[in-house]
Copies of this chain bind each other. A is one copy, B any other.
Amino acid sequence: MQNAIPRYKEVQNILRKQILKGTYASGHLLPSEHDLSHTYSITRTTVRQALDGLIREGLIAKHKGKGSIVISDRKSLALLHIKPFTSISAETSFKTSSVFLQKTKIITWPKPFFFHVNHDLSVTGCLHFERVRYVNMEPVILDNTYLPNVNLPRFTIRKFINDSLFETLQTAYGIHIVNVVQDLRAESATEGQANALKVNINTPLLHIYRKYLTNKKNFEFYSSLYCSTQKYTIGNQFSI
């Protein structure tokens, strides 16, 4: 019943590890698509699918006629594409950690909500938690997440795998994210936000609203992320 991991994702994972391990050094070229297709016994189409993922992750860039180069300067947190926050520590030398301000508990869906919540979801209540994410011991993100209270047995008492909601949903419930819609604003820190992120009140924060769609029918969830961008910027990269 478990979905098999697609071949292109396997190769993407292998290449990511090799890049981060330094097998392919910053500023140097990856093997050509032709070579990779040979190495992993897959077609170039599948290789390109894997490389597209690495581009979105900000790890490589392509140049026609030359090759795929490993990105070197990665000072910013590549958070505009979706992956476990904790994977930042694997991709950079940054160390991440998390502290819960509010453990998961069942509430009614807050109104007005920043996205329109599906009516089917609203009847069963809402699982909510709040936490602060740290990079190198400094608070960077204030995360409020709201999930539908359906089909998640023992969720309120479960400890997250590797501090990661995404990994927990995937591993314990077979749920993974297939689509994301996000809106960004710049806002002034309220007193509570300022305390949580250890910044002055009225410091500008980057506010990211997110709606996650998953492979499970009628299971979509929401996050509100306040990001302190004084020390770390939020970045991404993509090809057209």
> Does A76 lie within 8 Å of B240, measured CB to CB?
no
A237 contact from B181, B202, B205, Cβ within 8 A: B181
Which single residue of chain B is at the shortest CB-CB distance from A229?
A: B185
What sequence of 0s and 1s flags, for each residue 162-192 of chain A, a beta carbon within 8 Å of any chain B beta carbon?
Answer: 0000000000000011111111111110000
Q: Nearest Cβ distance between residue A71 and chain B, in whole angstroms?
A: 8
Report the 9 A-B pairs with minimum CB-CB distance, sorted nearest first. A204-B204, A186-B204, A185-B229, A186-B186, A183-B233, A183-B235, A186-B206, A181-B237, A184-B234
A-side interface size class: 35 or more
A80-B80 contact, Cβ under 8 Å, with A229-B185, A234-B184 = yes
> Does B61 lie within 8 Å of A213, measured CB to CB?
yes
Q: Which residues of A contact B (CB under 8 A)?
A: 45, 56, 58, 61-62, 64, 73, 76, 80-82, 116, 176-188, 202, 204-207, 209, 213, 215, 227, 229-230, 233-240
A238 contact from B116, B180, B188, B204, Cβ within 8 A: B180
